[in-house]
Structure 1
Amino acid sequence: MAKIKISQNPTFKAKVAIPRVGADPVSVEFEFKYMDRLALAAHFDKWNAARDEHAKKVQEDGLSWQEATGAEIALQVGQLKDIVASWAFDEKLSDESLTALVTTCIGAPQAVLEAYQSAYQPARLGN
């Protein structure tokens, strides 16, 4: 009988369809950091608190569109840094390249987060 370990691998890979303006999405392989359920819940709490704080700041401080967008980009870069271990882009994964991705590809953060979250969905049984 094959031996199967309970513990998960520290990383896993998934393809992400990165949206491109005026073109079809490009499929890029990402390597994600695995988190157990408690760690994942803690990250969701952190992300939700940061998003709430961002929304409050925008409303109370009357930020310009550019200031609000800059703050949202920083928030999304932080989210991706939390989960991405590596990627198959030509550019090496770094704070600068993550910022470039989030700044130039509006739908990229959502696509990456959705691919990450979908990996945690229970596998569908049957056809």
Structure 2
Amino acid sequence: MSKVLFKLDPNPTFDALVAIPMHGGGTADVKFTFKHRSKTELEEFLSTNKDMDDLTLVKSIATGWELEDEFSDENIQELLNNYIGAGSAIYVKYLEELYQAKRLN
């Protein structure tokens, strides 16, 4: 009997590399741990997130990152302030990962 690699109930979180835009060109890949959302949960989230500031948005989709600095409100805000494109990059990668999973299943 073969080992089952697929399960109906996905893990509550997943990791993905986010390309954070750097000043002067290029990107830095930062691994984020994102929250899984079902199709229904994602649709609800997309209908309610339009008025969220970047800090709240990042906290609503991610639970951590692979940086030396703690994943805290203060450090998330510092990332968002110092790297202006970071918020968009994080959000877009999150949606790409969820929609890719949706498309492939």
Bin the TM-score by the shorter chain. 0.7 to 0.9
Q: What fraction of aligned residue pairs are identical, expressed as a percent?
A: 29
> Whose radius of gyration is greater, 1 or 2?
1
- 1:42 corresponds, among 44, 47, 52, to 44
Give 1:58's aligned residue.
none
Give 1:65-80 correspondences, 5 Å limit. Answer: 75-80=53-58
Q: 3-state SS of the aligned residue for 1:120?
A: helix
RMSD (CA atoms): 1.7
Which segments of structure 1 move beyond 3 Å, counting only runs of 4 or more? Answer: 1-4
Q: Which has the higher helix share?
A: 1
2:93 equivalent among 115, 118, 127: 115
Matched residues, number: 100
CA distance in 1, matches of 2:27, 2:86: 10
Give the letter aligned to residue 19 of structure 1.
P
Unaligned runs of 5+ in 2: none
Instruction: Give the Cα–Cα distance (whole angstroms) in 2 for the partners of residues 90 and 21 of structure 1.
Output: 20
* Runs of 5+ consecutive residues of structure 1 not aligned to the other structure: 52-74
Shift of 1:23: 4.1
- Structure-1-length-normalised TM-score: 0.72
Structure-1 residue corresponding to 2:72: 94
